[in-house]
Amino acid sequence: MGEPELPARFTPRAPASRGRRAALYLAAPVVWVVALVTLAFVVGHGDAVEYALIALGASFVVALLVVGWSRVVRVREERGA
């Protein structure tokens, strides 16, 4: 009812160079090998999963505290300005 819809358009900034595409094609199998080795390690070591979950939880709590504190500081600055 208000403004007319504009058609969505995507134009890439620049096409990827040949070297960058080659690097991506070579890096993808390496990433799969790393994932498979990591999976083999985790399956063989059940304690590693527990430690990873503990580390994940701790980092999540720290991230929440930092984001919350930065929001408080930003709101204080906006009120003071």
Question: Could you report the per-residue pLDDT of 45-63, keeping only the tens digit for each?
Answer: 777 777 877 888 899 999 9
Interaxial angle between packed helices 46-80 and 18-44, expressed in degrees from 0 to 180 and rounded to the nearest 10 = 120
The 10 Å Cβ neighbour count of residue 76 is: 10
**pLDDT at residue 65 tops 90:** yes
Give pTM, 2 decimals.
0.44
pLDDT of amino acid 69: 92
User: Do 42 and 48 touch, CB atoms closer than 8 A?
Assistant: yes
CA distance 79 to 77: 5
Query: pLDDT digit string (tens) for 1-45?
Result: 567 777 777 776 788 788 888 888 888 888 888 888 887 787 777
Is it the case that residue 81 has pLDDT exceeding 70?
no
